[in-house]
Amino acid sequence: MARNPIKFTEEELQELTDNFSSKIFIGGQSDRIYRGFIDDVEVHVKLYKHALDDDLINEVLFKVEKQRLTEMQYPGIIKIIGYGKTDEDGMIVYQKTNRCLNFMLDELDWKSSLKIMKQVATALNDIHSHTYPPFVFADLCLEDVLIDEDYNIKLTDLGEVLPEGYNDRRVFVTLCAPELVTKGERTVKSDTYCFGLLMLQLLTLDMEMENGYPYGIPITEMARNMVKSRSHVVNETLLRKGCSWIKAVAITKLAMQCLENNPIVRPSMIQIIDKLHLIEMPGTATDLLTMDVLWCVLKSTSSKVIAWCTTTLCNGFMSIRTLCSLQLY
């Protein structure tokens, strides 16, 4: 059962933040975040400047985030403690957070990367399952994922989590699904696309992929080029720290499925969760993974080619690694 957040007075919020002292300012631009303590427990206070004055965008963000955090008390969503306001500004008090994911990529190994993917997928599925029509995050990025010392995640910045079907005409500064950018169409498959982008960043350990480089090459095209040259996009560090070659191929295929231009053919979050569990399984899942990779590699080839490759593989005349390198798709 959801716990109602505390309504703080202006005086309590000023005391909590030492009158919004620069000494306890943590970060943020349009919304500023301060550190505070309640009964010796550290909390963070997000301040929406002019949210109750003349800034319509911040007003909407403040009200929507307060409502979403109050409603969506799931393990993967940041926990709201309370809220308050001054004459002009709105504030949300929430549990202490650690670092954003974009600052931690160089610390990750295969196990922690996979754990983060599974938890983000679960949190997005919780958001989608919360009500009907489902809510959609739409522009999830690394900065929205907060990580603790055990690599558990919390999603934050829920101020723009709106219902599916909401006609969105904003200009997005982060990479989003093509249908959202060009038509303003917001669906749960928009989140699948963003999750695919996040997967690529976790697999390559490269936050700059978000910007599309070098020379403005789109991230999806760059990933496809990597797949053609080496069958997967997984960073060598992850390969040295627990990711087998076949799992690298399988999880790359999953990421590319999430990034399909046609939203209808992208997997749902629950399908993604099932795939990630399969990829995580040791030993007993090897045969299933092999067939999954085989199917992804051969999905656009003729039935005769599939039959030949399957026979060749099963008879031991060719390894799955060699088969994937044929690039028959």
Question: Residue 115 sits in a domain of what CATH number?
Answer: 1.10.510.10
Which pLDDT belongs to residue 61? 76
DSSP 50-115: TTTTT-HHHHHHHHHHHHHHHH---TTBPPEEEEEE-SS-EEEEEE---EEGGGTGGG--HHHHHH
Mean pLDDT of 201-215: 67
Which pLDDT belongs to residue 303? 54
Q: Is the full-model pTM beyond 0.85?
A: no
Distances (CA, A) of 90 to 58, 66, 196, 294: 9, 10, 33, 53
251's tokens: 């999880």
Q: Given a cut of 90, is residue 111 above it in pLDDT?
A: yes
- Overall residue count recorded for the chain in this entry: 329
The answer to whether residue 1 is domain-embedded is no
Contacts by residues 17-21 (CB-CB < 8 Å, ≥ 24 positions apart): 17/45, 20/47
If asked whether residues 208 and 60 sit together in one domain, one would say no
Q: Which of 60, 95, 130 is the last residue of a domain?
A: 95
The answer to whether the CB of 81 falls within 8 A of the CB of 93 is yes
Q: Given a cut of 50, is residue 301 above it in pLDDT?
A: no
Highest mean pLDDT among 19-33, 108-122, 155-169: 108-122
The answer to whether residue 62 is domain-embedded is yes
Which pLDDT belongs to residue 82? 93
Question: Residue 82 sits in a domain of what CATH number?
Answer: 3.30.200.20
Q: Which residues, 6 or more positions from 55, have their beta carbon under 8 angstroms from its beta carbon?
A: 49
The answer to whether residue 28 is domain-embedded is yes
Collapsing DSSP to helix, strand or coil, 161 comes out as coil
Q: Given a cut of 60, is residue 275 above it in pLDDT?
A: yes
Domain count, the chain: 2
Residue range of the domain that includes 52: 6-95
Q: Which residues, 6 or more positions from 62, have their beta carbon under 8 angstroms from its beta carbon?
A: 48, 51, 52, 90, 92, 159
If asked whether residues 238 and 122 sit together in one domain, one would say yes
The answer to whether the CB of 45 falls within 8 A of the CB of 31 is no
If asked whether residues 175 and 87 sit together in one domain, one would say no
Q: Which of 37, 62, 95 is the last residue of a domain?
A: 95
190's tokens: 């928009």
Question: What is the dihedral sign for C-alpha 86, 89, 96, 70?
Answer: positive
In the predicted model, what is the mean pLDDT of the chain? 80
Mean pLDDT of 287-301: 51
The answer to whether residue 311 is domain-embedded is no
Region of poorest pLDDT, from 199-203, 282-286, 325-329: 325-329
If asked whether residues 81 and 49 sit together in one domain, one would say yes
Higher-scoring residue by pLDDT: 85, 314: 85
The answer to whether residue 288 is domain-embedded is no
Which pLDDT belongs to residue 304? 55
Q: Which of 95, 124, 157 is the last residue of a domain?
A: 95
CA 123 – CA 157 distance, rounded (Å) = 13
Which pLDDT belongs to residue 254? 94
Q: Are strands 99-100 and 90-95 parallel, antiparallel or unpaired?
A: unpaired
End-to-end CA distance of the chain: 50
